[in-house]
Structure 1
Amino acid sequence: MNWILKTIIIGIGATFTMDVWSYILSMFKIKSLDYSLLGRWIGYMSKGKFFHNKIFNSPSLKNELIIGWLSHYIIGISFAFLLVFVCEKDWLTNPTLQPAIVIGLVTIVAPFFIMQPAFGFGVALSDMPNPTIGRIKSLLTHTIFGIGLYLSAILLNKISTI
């Protein structure tokens, strides 16, 4: 299997791991990002609007949930490529946990400094009630994503040898 396909599969697996984590949290009534908001943000970009006062007050767009979920997985795949770029292709056949977690934690830059301010939530949720709770949830979720990168690579290597 070529390295590009492997990286895509690992990105999908890591993103799915993050989604399983969010589902587990939801069983305890702990909310995570509503991907329709991600889709709304991306949808409004085509209209030239990149920043919102509070995105949940912006009118919803047709297919925003689908756009949000697709974008979520594309972003996860992109971050998997970041890992392979930093660690080189050798990581795909010899995955180690530490770089995967480091990349998972580095990806927190995207929500803290791009998405959350653009959504009108402030840098690292600074304009929201209880920003510390949101920050901790984001850090845990991105750590889970890093673990998902590692586990997906391990599983893919096991399946590839069968």
Structure 2
Amino acid sequence: MQPYTALIVYSLIIGIGATIFMDIYAIVNRTFFKIPSLDYRLLGRWIGHFKEGVFAHTSIMQAKPVKGERIIGWIAHYLIGITFAFLLLLIWGTGWAYHPTLLPALLIGILTTVAPFFMMQPAFGFGIAASKTPKPATARLRSLMTHTIYGIGLYIAGLLLHLFI
């Protein structure tokens, strides 16, 4: 396989796998511990307002709903997961997929917490690192835990991919 093709294909497989792993974690949290996760409909609403030139909201929950926001949000969620897997392979090389190690995957997972803390949460009206939410420390910890789980998912998806390449 050509190097660029491998980068794209492995990013797709690892990114989708890691995102599924993160989604399973969210389902377990919601089902057994009654801990809610981000409603990706809100991500879709945020993205849906881009065409109007609106990139930040006082409260995304009060913003006008956008047609298809749930599907837009879920597609974006998986594209973001694929993009971060691409970043992992860009930094460590596609050779990482042949010999996956936990540390690079965990580092990428934890570092991806920067996106919600400094981009999504402020744009949603939740403040930097959820500072305007009722329980900022809880929101921060949950984001960090979820993105750490994503990092573990990168590693597991890499291990699974390794079995087939």
Q: CA RMSD in A?
A: 0.9
- State the TM-score, normalizing by the size of structure 1: 0.96
For the pair 1:121 / 2:126, whether they are aligned, the reply is yes
Contact 1:12 1:76 survives alignment (8 Å): yes
**Count of aligned pairs:** 160
Secondary structure of the residue aligned to 1:46 is: helix
- Measure the CA separation in 2 of the matches of 1:3 and 1:81: 7
* Equivalent residue number for residue 74 of structure 1: 79
Please list every run of 5 or more consecutive structure 1 residues that lacks an aligned counterpart in the other structure.
Answer: none
- Measure the CA separation in 2 of the matches of 1:30 and 1:113: 23
For the pair 1:42 / 2:59, whether they are aligned, the reply is no
Contact 2:10 2:94 survives alignment (8 Å): no
* Equivalent residue number for residue 137 of structure 2: 132
Contact 2:7 2:89 survives alignment (8 Å): no
Percent identity over the alignment?
53
- Measure the CA separation in 2 of the matches of 1:66 and 1:76: 15
Q: CA deviation at 1:3?
A: 3.3
From 10, 23, 30, give the equivalent of 2:27: 23
* Equivalent residue number for residue 8 of structure 2: 4
Please list every run of 5 or more consecutive structure 2 residues that lacks an aligned counterpart in the other structure.
Answer: none
Structure 1 segments, 4+ long, off by >2 Å, are none
Contact 2:19 2:150 survives alignment (8 Å): yes
From 78, 81, 100, give the equivalent of 1:95: 100
- Measure the CA separation in 1 of the matches of 2:93 and 2:161: 17
